[in-house]
Chains A and B, each alone.
Chain A
Amino acid sequence: MKPFTSSSIRVNSRPFAVKCFSALLLSAAIAPAVDFDDCYKVEDIKLPEGAPPEVGGMDFASDDTLFVVLRRGDVIKAKPSGNAGNFQWELFATGFHNGCGIDVVTPSKVRITQMADMTEVEDTDGDGKADRFMRFASGWGLSGNYHETNTLTKDGKGGYYISVGTASHAGPTFEHVLGDYSAAGRRGRNYASVKWKGWILHADNKGKVTPFASGFRMANGIYQDPDGNLWAGDNQGDWKAITPLYHVEQGNFYGHPSSLVWDSAWKGKDPLATYRNDLDAYNKHRTKAAVEMPNKEINRSAGEPYELPRDGSFGPFAGQLVVPDNNGERISRVMLEKVNGKFQGAVTQFIQNHGLRSGNHRIRFSHDGKQMYVGQTVRGWGSPAEGLQRITWKGGVPFDIETFKITKKGFKVTFTKDLPDELKEKKAWDFSSFTVQPKWTYGSDQENEREHDVKALKVTDKRSVEIELEDFSAGKIYKLELPKKLKSADDESPLQNRLAFYTANELPK
């Protein structure tokens, strides 16, 4: 974690800087307790009056202009203002069909994934408004269902990965559809009656589309991290036991069978019926989630994963992934590691409540990395929770789990601050485990639930503990529930999150 330096004070307004500096001087003497709200500020960004603030997607231009695509079709833009209520929004373009992915190519050119295609939109005459709307990429079908929304992430080479949502049984298909139709793909709860529903596609820099990975239900958010790893969440539902976060690699199948009707290896077969009746074969074929996020405790519906700035400009947990919850007032925080060459790891919350709305599904950072913009929409699913919020790191570090790593016999947990004495005792560490089997049902119950006694505990430094667990094995999700009212030993800061879950697909060899 980057220390609280004078450079991070400088960007703040003078009175605030003076206040912080005084606090810094003071902290050397008495180190006051730090709570979440001391470190982060959550603000509502005012969108234009009267416009439904259903944020489908957003992205920053190189000149810092923030572009937001609203689900009814408008694309608006504004230079971020220090005053969240004072963004000077202008209309850039209109008419997109449920645009849920946007890449700002230049300050006058954006690309948007909408239901039927990805369109490049350009202001060619420099009047600030788009005047050219060219199809950039297409090739996926459209059945007419409301659920078939798409989103994108950049591939780093001028192209994109595009996630194509399945249709829902709570809506029909049209008589005349876009692209090939598959009767086998039309069956089941969420379905893929037309091409590439439930797939992640790759579009190259010319817009040429090729299939990349299958088995998604509704990956509402994909993200390529700075190392080139592709991440996608999904929504609990049929064939999604709880909320998964996948490390997406070419050619893999991530568990929702309907998409397989568009895999030539399944030509003439019925993947839904096949796997409904043979979960063993299904489990052999599917690639498991790198991290499972229990939907009730952690994340009900994964939005776009995003990495916290590696340079520490957004404070602690630098380089960790966060996953917004589209159905909860929270953004989850994922602590990944590579075990035997594969990603897996733990999840807890980054923020829960503190003024955050629900509907969270898109994340972007300001160019200085100090502000996280969170786009929200749920229209059509439950209470409207729509809009744009911004979380600013004010400085300071809350007391929380910093890393959660697996060992051959258990876990090593490191905190952001010094361990309270209570955590140096075995009895404070309440570990249990369970498994989940995705199947045709809407979500799956936890199975094989059991407690794990702590066999041994070793304090390895003043912030870290190594735990050895009874009957520790792979293939389970481990739940850690820490005691209530814990405070750090050094500055008595309250522990932010008592719950964390580690998906132990593998034990280190």
Chain B
Amino acid sequence: MRKTLLFFCLGLPPLLANPLLTYENRPLGAPDAPLVMSTYLPDPGLNPAVFSHHHNSAPAPKYNPSKGEDVPGEEKPIPAVVAGLAVSFGPSLAYVFDTTECRPFYAWQGGFLDFTPYWGDQKRGSRVSFDYIPRLVGNLFHKAAGKNPVHIDGKSVDDLGGLEYVGYSLLKGVPRFEYKAGGHLVTVMIQPSEKELSFDAEVTCDPPAPIAWKEGDFSAEGNGKLSFTYTGKALGNYQGYKLKVDLRKANKEAGETLYNSYGCIACHSTDGSKGHGPSLGGLADEKVELEGSDKPVVADREYLLESIKTPNAKIVKGYPPNYMPPFGLPDVEYDSLILYIQSLSKPE
């Protein structure tokens, strides 16, 4: 069941009859109330050919915002799905319908998505930098391959021209997607199956025509309307978001991972450039001017620790107070962050 919080307070009746998305980063739908989410989505190794209506990005020159210039190095694009809708029926079925390719991209069972990288931690309020892709939870059993599996009059809708996403309706809560292709309005509805590693699908086209679903070895046919059960095979088990960091003892590599995962980078650069907060580049052991004080302080270990633990104790000149949240972290994480900050050289 989709996580429901108790809305009882002081004996009053519940505020809401329906569950809301909460701080729970692993929401789930239910068979009678599927959850449909428009979101960035992970790419579990899809064949690039299925992105035929997308455009390719490319590695970009690394940009140094403190110099305003490109510097040696590349920013590599990351694999993910940019405009998909994820549907959860609870543990029985989850799948992604891509609105650009107008087809299901993949399906899995046993869970849905872990939004931790995107929604962040309630206590810290930040997303994970350079990430924010929710992670799959469960067992993948279907991945799109080749052209769009819906064929009308013997041709994949990819080849009919005019492929265009229209929207979806909820029929007793279950989403039925609609798109246009070659003068037809096509609908696709996918639901949990009683069989393992399977989903039930119903596809229609209007005006009616011979219609088929062909993907890999699988094939089903009908006229104007097509119902079938797709059975896949175990393609991988996914367990949500896990921070990969070695914290057996404080180290600067862990500090860098934490710097990214706590979203520090959104405000603090490492190259001397200004942002919402002061840059960390070359900060360690330098003098820092503070608001409301004529006396600069030295950014020693003690200062850095205080600035992460209780950010409002000292405010750097020119920056707002009460902006950075206090981070309640284990000591080994503070120490790792400090080691990382101390490793950052002064910008040229």
Contacts and interface: CB of A to CB of B under 8 A. Distances in A.
B15 A88 contact: yes
B167 A49 contact: no
A73 interface: yes
Contact of A171 (B119, B129, B170): B129
B303 to A, nearest CB: 20
Given A96-B38, A188-B63, A91 B57 contact: no
A265 interface: no
Contacts of A174: 40, 57, 77-82
Interface in B70-111: 70, 75-83, 85, 99-100
B65 A238 contact: yes
A358 interface: yes
Interface string B102-128: 000000000000010011101001110
Given A171-B132, A276-B68, A383 B324 contact: yes
Given A94-B36, A97-B39, A383-B125, A328 B57 contact: no
A284 interface: no
Interface string B21-36: 1110000000000011
B83 A116 contact: yes
Contacts of A72: 21, 115, 119
A73 B322 contact: no
B275 A380 contact: no
With most chain A CB atoms within 10 A of its CB, the pick from B77, B122, B127, B168 is: B77
Given A95-B38, A174-B78, A327-B323, A384 B169 contact: no
A378 B274 CA distance: 19
Interface in B39-85: 39-40, 43, 48, 51, 54-58, 60-61, 63, 65, 68, 70, 75-83, 85
Interface in B310-348: 318, 320, 322-325
B47 to A, nearest CB: 11
B77 A172 contact: yes
Interface string A310-332: 00000000000000000110000
A383 B55 contact: no
Contacts of A189: 63, 65, 273
Contact of A48 (B15, B77, B115, B266): B15
B37 interface: yes
Contact of B77 (A146, A173, A187): A173
B172 to A, nearest CB: 9
A382 B68 contact: no
Size band of the B side of the interface?
35 or more
Contacts of A171: 129-130, 132
Interface string B231-245: 000000000000000
Interface residues of A, number: 76
Contacts of B70: 187
Contact of B75 (A114, A172, A194): A172
A96 B323 CA distance: 27
Contacts of A133: 36, 167-170
A176 B318 CA distance: 40
B265 interface: yes
A52 B57 CA distance: 33
Given A169-B65, A171-B129, A172-B78, A76 B20 contact: yes
A176 B266 contact: no
A74 B320 contact: no
A129 interface: yes
Nearest to B67: A440
B38 A73 contact: yes
Given A131-B169, A171-B129, A183-B58, A51 B82 contact: no
A143 B125 contact: no
A142 B84 CA distance: 12
A134 B187 CA distance: 13
A258 to B, nearest CB: 11
B207 to A, nearest CB: 20
A177 B57 CA distance: 6
B167 A177 contact: no
A125 to B, nearest CB: 10
Contacts of A439: 68
A170 B18 contact: no
Nearest to B24: A50
Contacts of A358: 322
A90 B16 contact: yes
B135 to A, nearest CB: 15
Interface string A262-278: 00000000000000100
A173 B57 contact: yes
Given A131-B170, A144-B78, A181-B58, 4 more contacts: A91-B20, A173-B77, A175-B80, A379-B125
6 contacts: A72-B115, A95-B38, A117-B99, A133-B169, A146-B127, A177-B57
Interface of A: 48-52, 70, 72-74, 76, 88-91, 94-97, 114-117, 119-120, 129-135, 141-144, 146, 168-181, 183, 186-189, 193-194, 238, 276, 296, 300, 327-328, 358, 378-384, 439-443
Interface of B: 5, 7, 9, 15-23, 35-40, 43, 48, 51, 54-58, 60-61, 63, 65, 68, 70, 75-83, 85, 99-100, 115, 118-120, 122, 125-127, 129-130, 132, 165-170, 263, 265-267, 273-277, 318, 320, 322-325
